[in-house]
Amino acid sequence: MRRLVLPVLLALAGACTAREPGTIAAGDLEVHGAFAFAPPTASEAAGYFTIVNRGRDPDTLLTATSPIAGAAMLHGQVPDGGMVRMEHISAPAIAAGDSLVLAPGGTHLMLMTLDRLPKAGDTIAVTLTFARAGALNVNLPVRAYGDAP
Protein backbone atom coordinates (compact mmCIF):
# COMPACT_ATOMS: atom_id res chain seq x y z
CA MET A 1 0.00 0.00 0.00
CA ARG A 2 2.81 2.37 0.92
CA ARG A 3 4.21 2.45 -2.61
CA LEU A 4 1.01 4.01 -3.88
CA VAL A 5 1.37 7.21 -1.87
CA LEU A 6 4.16 8.93 -3.78
CA PRO A 7 2.72 8.53 -7.31
CA VAL A 8 -0.63 9.84 -6.09
CA LEU A 9 0.99 12.92 -4.54
CA LEU A 10 3.00 13.58 -7.70
CA ALA A 11 -0.14 13.30 -9.81
CA LEU A 12 -1.96 15.79 -7.59
CA ALA A 13 0.97 18.22 -7.65
CA GLY A 14 1.14 18.01 -11.43
CA ALA A 15 -2.55 18.67 -11.74
CA CYS A 16 -2.32 21.77 -9.56
CA THR A 17 0.62 23.41 -11.29
CA ALA A 18 -0.68 22.75 -14.81
CA ARG A 19 -3.96 24.61 -14.34
CA GLU A 20 -4.79 28.24 -13.91
CA PRO A 21 -6.78 29.29 -10.83
CA GLY A 22 -10.52 28.89 -11.22
CA THR A 23 -10.17 25.97 -13.59
CA ILE A 24 -12.47 23.02 -12.94
CA ALA A 25 -11.50 19.64 -14.33
CA ALA A 26 -13.15 16.27 -14.88
CA GLY A 27 -11.24 13.57 -16.68
CA ASP A 28 -9.65 15.15 -19.75
CA LEU A 29 -11.89 18.22 -19.67
CA GLU A 30 -11.19 21.61 -18.16
CA VAL A 31 -13.65 24.45 -17.76
CA HIS A 32 -12.40 27.95 -17.14
CA GLY A 33 -13.47 31.59 -17.32
CA ALA A 34 -17.01 30.81 -16.16
CA PHE A 35 -19.41 33.67 -15.47
CA ALA A 36 -22.97 34.85 -16.06
CA PHE A 37 -24.47 38.27 -16.56
CA ALA A 38 -27.08 39.43 -14.07
CA PRO A 39 -30.31 39.24 -16.11
CA PRO A 40 -32.98 41.96 -16.09
CA THR A 41 -35.69 39.43 -15.26
CA ALA A 42 -35.81 35.89 -13.90
CA SER A 43 -37.16 34.54 -17.19
CA GLU A 44 -33.68 33.82 -18.55
CA ALA A 45 -29.96 34.34 -18.00
CA ALA A 46 -26.89 33.65 -20.12
CA GLY A 47 -23.74 31.89 -18.90
CA TYR A 48 -20.30 31.75 -20.46
CA PHE A 49 -17.21 29.56 -20.09
CA THR A 50 -14.62 27.71 -22.13
CA ILE A 51 -14.41 23.91 -22.17
CA VAL A 52 -11.01 22.51 -23.18
CA ASN A 53 -10.56 18.86 -24.13
CA ARG A 54 -7.00 17.89 -23.22
CA GLY A 55 -7.58 14.21 -23.95
CA ARG A 56 -7.05 12.03 -26.99
CA ASP A 57 -10.71 11.33 -27.58
CA PRO A 58 -13.65 13.54 -28.44
CA ASP A 59 -16.26 14.21 -25.78
CA THR A 60 -19.84 15.42 -26.02
CA LEU A 61 -21.78 17.76 -23.76
CA LEU A 62 -25.00 15.84 -23.20
CA THR A 63 -26.91 18.02 -20.75
CA ALA A 64 -26.67 21.15 -18.65
CA THR A 65 -28.75 21.66 -15.52
CA SER A 66 -28.98 24.22 -12.74
CA PRO A 67 -30.89 23.94 -9.46
CA ILE A 68 -32.26 27.48 -9.98
CA ALA A 69 -33.33 27.04 -13.63
CA GLY A 70 -36.35 25.21 -15.00
CA ALA A 71 -34.29 24.39 -18.10
CA ALA A 72 -30.78 24.94 -19.42
CA MET A 73 -29.37 24.46 -22.91
CA LEU A 74 -26.69 25.70 -25.26
CA HIS A 75 -27.69 28.38 -27.73
CA GLY A 76 -25.83 29.53 -30.82
CA GLN A 77 -26.32 32.93 -32.46
CA VAL A 78 -27.45 32.66 -36.06
CA PRO A 79 -27.65 35.65 -38.45
CA ASP A 80 -31.21 35.95 -39.72
CA GLY A 81 -32.03 38.72 -42.20
CA GLY A 82 -30.06 41.48 -40.46
CA MET A 83 -31.13 40.21 -37.04
CA VAL A 84 -29.56 37.58 -34.83
CA ARG A 85 -31.58 34.61 -33.74
CA MET A 86 -30.76 32.10 -30.98
CA GLU A 87 -30.73 28.47 -31.95
CA HIS A 88 -30.57 25.42 -29.69
CA ILE A 89 -27.29 23.49 -30.02
CA SER A 90 -27.88 19.84 -29.23
CA ALA A 91 -25.06 17.70 -27.80
CA PRO A 92 -22.03 19.62 -29.08
CA ALA A 93 -18.91 17.50 -29.60
CA ILE A 94 -15.50 18.74 -28.47
CA ALA A 95 -12.71 17.14 -30.50
CA ALA A 96 -9.46 16.01 -28.86
CA GLY A 97 -7.29 19.07 -28.26
CA ASP A 98 -10.13 21.40 -29.16
CA SER A 99 -12.19 23.91 -27.16
CA LEU A 100 -15.82 24.92 -26.98
CA VAL A 101 -15.95 28.66 -26.29
CA LEU A 102 -19.07 30.28 -24.88
CA ALA A 103 -18.73 34.06 -24.99
CA PRO A 104 -20.94 37.18 -25.13
CA GLY A 105 -22.22 37.68 -28.69
CA GLY A 106 -21.81 34.00 -29.52
CA THR A 107 -22.60 30.58 -28.15
CA HIS A 108 -23.94 30.72 -24.60
CA LEU A 109 -25.54 28.64 -21.90
CA MET A 110 -29.18 29.70 -21.72
CA LEU A 111 -30.75 29.30 -18.29
CA MET A 112 -34.52 29.56 -18.44
CA THR A 113 -37.35 30.13 -15.94
CA LEU A 114 -35.14 30.96 -12.98
CA ASP A 115 -36.74 30.57 -9.57
CA ARG A 116 -35.01 33.74 -8.35
CA LEU A 117 -33.32 36.77 -9.90
CA PRO A 118 -29.51 36.38 -9.79
CA LYS A 119 -27.71 39.59 -8.86
CA ALA A 120 -24.11 40.67 -9.34
CA GLY A 121 -22.02 38.91 -6.71
CA ASP A 122 -24.24 35.81 -6.64
CA THR A 123 -23.15 32.43 -7.94
CA ILE A 124 -25.18 30.18 -10.23
CA ALA A 125 -24.43 26.48 -9.86
CA VAL A 126 -24.49 24.49 -13.10
CA THR A 127 -23.86 20.80 -13.75
CA LEU A 128 -22.53 19.87 -17.16
CA THR A 129 -22.77 16.19 -18.06
CA PHE A 130 -20.43 14.78 -20.71
CA ALA A 131 -20.54 11.44 -22.50
CA ARG A 132 -17.00 10.48 -21.41
CA ALA A 133 -15.97 12.77 -18.55
CA GLY A 134 -19.29 12.48 -16.69
CA ALA A 135 -20.71 15.25 -14.51
CA LEU A 136 -18.82 18.47 -13.94
CA ASN A 137 -20.05 21.10 -11.46
CA VAL A 138 -19.33 24.66 -12.49
CA ASN A 139 -20.10 27.79 -10.48
CA LEU A 140 -20.86 30.88 -12.55
CA PRO A 141 -20.03 34.11 -10.71
CA VAL A 142 -22.72 36.65 -11.61
CA ARG A 143 -21.52 39.96 -13.01
CA ALA A 144 -23.35 43.18 -13.73
CA TYR A 145 -24.47 43.21 -17.37
CA GLY A 146 -21.65 44.29 -19.71
CA ASP A 147 -19.04 43.79 -16.99
CA ALA A 148 -17.01 41.29 -19.05
CA PRO A 149 -13.61 40.01 -17.96
- Contacts with Cu ion, 85-104, as mask; x by CB under 5 A: -x------------------
Q: Considering the complex, what minimum distance in angstroms separates the CB of residue 46 from Cu ion?
A: 6
DSSP 53-101: E-SSS-EEEEEEE-TTEEEEEEEEEEEETTEEEEEEE-S-EE-TT-EEE
Among residues 62 and 86, whose Cβ is nearest to Cu ion?
86
Bridge-based pairing of strands 29-37 and 69-80 is: unpaired
- Contacts with Cu ion, 26-65, as mask; x by CB under 5 A: ----------------------------------------
Please tell me the distance from the alpha carbon of residue 59 to that of residue 105, in angstroms, as a whole number: 24
Q: Does 25 bind Cu ion (CB under 5 A)?
A: no
